[in-house]
Structure 1
Amino acid sequence: MNHARTRLVMGNWKMHGSLADNAALLGGLVAGAQRAGSAQLAVCVPFPYLAQARQALSGSTVSWGAQDISVHDRGAYTGEVSAAMLADFEVSWVLCGHSERRAMHGESSALVAAKAAAALGAGLTPVVCVGETLSDRDAGDAECVIGDQLEPVLALGAESLSRLVIAYEPVWAIGTGRTATPEQAQAVHAFIRAALTRHGAAQTRILYGGSVKAANASDLFAQPDIDGALVGGASLVAEEFLNIAAAAA
């Protein structure tokens, strides 16, 4: 990896957590955060727990984020959460276009890019998720699908691209226990890096997500275009998450 790009290990709690469980997990992360070395550590928590995350993590080296954002500033949008609301909780990061949002909520790539723009406008760092399904990969269409997902994001321009993060998550490897081989992951990361480079953003960080765990993290991080990880289930266990962070360090 180009060492100008700081490693980033980010947990996505998805719809997991309780006040009691979170307190133990966040406390464990703060206690062990030094194991990440120079890598950045972050967790994206459900909206109701943003205040708890801020309280537990303020003053530590672990930052916090949200899992979604509205394209709207305010108004009659029941259930939506705006960029300004996230900023109120000193959120650093926000996931945009996670595969579960795309699949279950019908989010288009254009909407995902608009969410990223809303985040950038409030000083938040969007983490734009892209990735192909198993049928896409089996058909040889992975790069075509990811290229289409990236297109409206790339159109935001070099300045915006320099302030966001891309996360590559092969949908077939999320929560299935299947992981793309380091070589498969690197091939897609290189494809994304080339697209970013063409748009003047070669240094934009690209994370790998898809059943990342301590056992496979070192091999993934050894690849030149993998700048960190977006971690699902393993981020709910402090020791496992910190072991992944140590591999990034």
Structure 2
Amino acid sequence: MANLNKFGQEVGADVEGWTTRAFPEKVVLKGNTCRLEPLDSEKHGSELFSAYRKAGQELWTYVPVGPFNDLEEYLKFIKELSETKNIVPFAIINEETERAVGTLALMRIDQASGSLEVGYVIFSPELQKTIIATEAQFLLMKYVFDVLQYRRYEWKCDSLNGPSRRAAMRLGFKYEGTFRQAMVYKGRTRDTQWFSIIDKEWIYIRKTFEQWLDKGNFENGRQKRGLANIRENLLS
């Protein structure tokens, strides 16, 4: 049934008891294989720079920054990033090695509407396609939806960045559309694809991650069921 105002116009559904959401804090988020720590240039910079150097320069193709010529240049960047007002960046720590192996950040934070974006998803070769990579994403989602109680969690990427598109879909984000010529970066144009998860979808997405991360879903380090398969079964 349509929701009409007193003028007979169709309007969006009422959001009962809505209040402005808190700004994300610089917290530590702990999982089984990894933890997220507030990004710190002195604590994490050298380890991250070393981890990223194991990849080729193609790691930075679709990132607005980088590649970095030396450690000093990279430390300057993450110091500026950690001090940026509307960005809350995290280092991903491998619990087994106690080393920083990648980053994530909360950005474009709209407290009034309960919406934000995950960005600066920069994973070193040590992190790519691992259980840690998936659990790190889950830890941040849990913080956004369960603790901060935001309504909308966004993912954006260059429309030509196939790995990022596939990662978004695997994690449960829904494709929303493409903003044409949305940016100019590194001297070239970018069409930006938008994806999101909203609060009413989080219930089954959370269950999907919990079932995938369960130790019984792995044998000799290999998954028995993928995230997409688990999600489909939960929705059927």
Q: TM-score, normalised by structure 1?
A: 0.30
TM-score, length-scaled by structure 2: 0.31
Of structures 1 and 2, the one scoring higher in RCO (CA 8 A, sep 6+) is 1
The structure with more helix, counted as a fraction of residues: 1
Structure with the larger strand share: 2
- Indicate the structure (1 or 2) with the bigger Cα radius of gyration: 2
